[in-house]
Structures are given as C-alpha cells and as structure tokens.
Amino acid sequence: MQNEYTFSAFVFDNVVLVLKEGLRGVRHLSLYARSLGLRVTAHLPGFIRRPTRSAVLHVDHLAEKVERRTSDVVHHYLDPEITRDSETATFAKILIRENAAVLFAKTTYDNLKITLEYLSPTLEVNDKFFISEMLSACAYRKSAAHFNAFEKDCTKAGFLVAQLIRQGVIRTRKSKNAVKSSELNVIQLVKVSCFAHMLWLVIAREYLPERERDLLYACCDLSVVIFEQIEEAGDDPQMLGELLKVHAEII
C-alpha cells in the first residue's frame, strides 16, 4: 500500500496545507466579518453608514486579494501536480498514489464546496461553511491505517465516509438546526455531502469537465434520496461500502 509518510508529504502537510488552511481561515472570518459588518452598518445613520460600509467592503476586498494571490502561488509552485490530478481523481487512482492523503484532501475540498453549494443553493457556502483540507488528509490517514490489502475498494471508501464526518471536515458557525436547505439540516447536509463525494470517487467516470460536475450533482441527488439508508448505516464501513457499491452501479 503506497501510504508511507514520505518527506515530500511531510513538507506538504506542514507547509503547504497549513498555509492554505490559514489563508482560507482568514478569508472565512473576513466573509463573516463582512456580513456582520454590513448588517450592523445597515442600522447606522446615513452619513456614517456610507463610509463605514465602504471601509468594510474595502477590507474584505483586500483579504480576498491576499488569499487569492497566495493560493495561486501555492497551487502553481508547490502542488501543481495535485491540482491537476485532483480534477480526474478516482478512488482507485488515489489508493495507489504515494501522496494519497494530499490528493484525497484536495479532491475532497473541491468537491465538498460544490456539493454544499448544490444542496443548499440559498446559502452562501463560503460564508457559512469552512471545509478543512487538513482534516480531510487526516481522515484519509486514519482510514488508511485500517485498510486491508484484501478489502474491497468500496469498504475502504466506506471507512472514509465515516472518517470525514467524524473528523468534522465541514464546519459551520451556525447551530446544528439553524441552517436549513429546503430539505436538509446541517447535520444531514454534511453526511449527504460526504457520501456524495465518495460516491463520485468510486463510480465509472467520463473525464469530461462538464460531465464530471453533472455526475457529482447526480451523486448528490441520489445521496439525498437514499439518506435514510445512509443514516441507518451509521459509521459502519461495511454497510456504507455496500451502499456505495450498489449505487455506484446505477449512476
């Protein structure tokens, strides 16, 4: 199993991921501060409101620029392969990679952003949710420690569904029931997103950009429909793996 913790993976985790995560944290807080600031300024008298609102937006704009520029540097120079490979990653490909955890983490981050936006379109995902790439890498390593060479890939994927939820890779400041989409509360949203992401990783894929996203949406829809079965499976990797296997065959 190609999961030795190599020096390059060590550097990546301790430099790159920390840097990216830190910047995202700043951005997430600045978005929260912006929305809070804008709500507060809405109640101020007009002659104070306008310059205050302008200052809030300016600070937020600066934070966004810093985050984007630094992320571009990180992606371009420190992990260009990961960025490229995450777009066509499948679970089978991740399992045999030397730096499987970081590839998995990048793919997880990208996909969970999409799934959350799709499943809760009225929410501003950047504002309400924080997705942790570091914890996603952690989830992979904790799962991989239990992987058995003879185990089916879907059972391994089932381990990961449970770990992603357990590690709390999706965080929100809102209380558990406060943020609702039309159908799901926060806890359900997190479970469905994690399951849909793993389902996408195990299905037969077409490697066309527009089709990949449609497939992820199809995985989301199916995960919502079978949510009761996902709940029933709890954190049992065998049951989760079986659900993934059965439904991957019909996507």
Partner 1 sequence: MDKLQNIPSVRFNVPDGQSFRKSVQRLRWFKSTFEEQVQAVSIRTGIDYDTNAQILTSCFLQWVRAIEKIKPSNPEDRLAFVGFAAGKMLKELIVNDPLVLNKTPKVMDLDFPEYFWPQGYVYVSYCLNVRQFILQQDFHTQEQNSDSIDEIRTWWSFKENTVEVSDYAISYLDLFAGEEPNWNSPGQFNRKRKLEQFLEGHDSLTAELELPKKSDRH
CB closer to partner 1, 173 vs 211: 211
Least separation in angstroms between CB 188 and partner 1: 13
Least separation in angstroms between CB 140 and partner 1: 27
Least separation in angstroms between CB 162 and partner 1: 23
Least separation in angstroms between CB 200 and partner 1: 12
CB closer to partner 1, 72 vs 214: 214
58: helix, strand or coil: helix
CB closer to partner 1, 76 vs 211: 211
Q: Per DSSP, which regions of the chain are E strands? A: 129-131, 170-172
Distance CA 72, CA 34 (A): 23
Least separation in angstroms between CB 221 and partner 1: 4
Task: List residues binding partner 1 (CB under 8 A).
Answer: 183, 211, 214-215, 217-218, 221-222, 224-226, 250-251
CB closer to partner 1, 183 vs 231: 183
Distance CA 23, CA 29 (A): 10
Least separation in angstroms between CB 247 and partner 1: 9
What is the amino acid identity at position 99? N
The residue behind tokens 């993976």 is 9
Distance CA 130, CA 110 (A): 12
User: Do the beta carbons of residue 157 and residue 202 sit within 8 Å?
Assistant: yes
Q: What is the DSSP letter of 15?
A: I
Q: What are the tokens at 218? A: 């199809």
CB closer to partner 1, 159 vs 200: 200
CB closer to partner 1, 72 vs 232: 232
Q: Closest by alpha carbon to 229, among 139, 146, 129, 158?
A: 158
Neighbouring-strand partners of residue 130: 171
Q: What are the tokens at 144? A: 């991989």
